[in-house]
Amino acid sequence: MIIRKEKKLRLTEITDIDKLSTNKCQVIYMAIGLDIQSAQYGEILGSFIYKPTNEVYQFRFHVHGPKQLYASLSNQMTNIEQVIFEKIPIPGSEETFLDFKIAYTDFGRMAFWKATPKSTLTGTHYDLHTLITNIQAYSRKQKYCYALRKTDAKRLAYLDSTANAKS
C-alpha cells in the first residue's frame, strides 16, 4: 500500500484501489481523513465509475468518529452523488471547457438498508452493495477504526482548541 498525504485537505490518499473495484464499479479515487486537523476526520471520500452506464459517482464512507456510541455505525457508506460532466465550447476556439456538477441520486439506494439481505438485491443495488462490502473489508484489514480510536482524545482536544480560538 502506498499512501500519499494531500497537504491542503489533510487527507491520506489510498492508492491500492484496484483491489476494491468490482466487475461493475471501478474505483478511481479514495482518501481517508486520519489527521486530527482534517475536516474529513474518520471519513473515506472516494469516487468510482459505474461501468454499465459509464457514469461517475462520488461517495462518503464513515469509518469512525470520536464519542461514537455504537460500533455498528462504523464502516458504513453514508452518501453517494452522481458527478455529471459537460463539455462547454469555448467561443472562437475548437477547444472545450470541461465542467461538472453534483446531482443527488437514488443509485443503489437499497444497498444502504442494513436489514436487506444481499440475495434480494438486484441491479445497481447489488452492485453498490458489493462495492460497499469491499470497502468495509479493506477498512477492517487496514485497521482504520483502531487507528482513529487511538487519536480520538487528540481530535476532541483539537476541536475544543479551535472552538475556543473562534470565541
The 3-state secondary structure of 112-155 reads HCCCCCHHHCCHHHHHHHHHHHHHHHHHHHHCHHHHHHHCHHHH
Q: Is the dihedral of CA 12, 24, 134, 142 positive or negative?
A: negative
User: Residue ranges per domain, the chain?
Assistant: 3-140
Predicted local distance difference test score (pLDDT) of residue 2: 43
Task: Give pLDDT tens digits along the chain (167 positions).
Answer: 444 445 556 888 898 899 999 999 999 999 999 999 998 999 999 999 999 999 999 999 999 999 888 888 899 999 999 999 888 888 888 888 888 899 999 898 888 887 888 889 999 999 999 999 999 999 999 999 999 999 999 999 999 988 776 65
Predicted local distance difference test score (pLDDT) of residue 118: 86
Enter the DSSP assignment of 159: H
How much is the pTM? 0.85
Predicted local distance difference test score (pLDDT) of residue 61: 95
Predicted local distance difference test score (pLDDT) of residue 88: 87
What's the rounded Cα separation, in Å, for the pair 22 and 45?
Answer: 17
Count of residues in the chain: 167
Predicted local distance difference test score (pLDDT) of residue 125: 94
Closest CA to 30 of 149, 144, 158, 154: 144
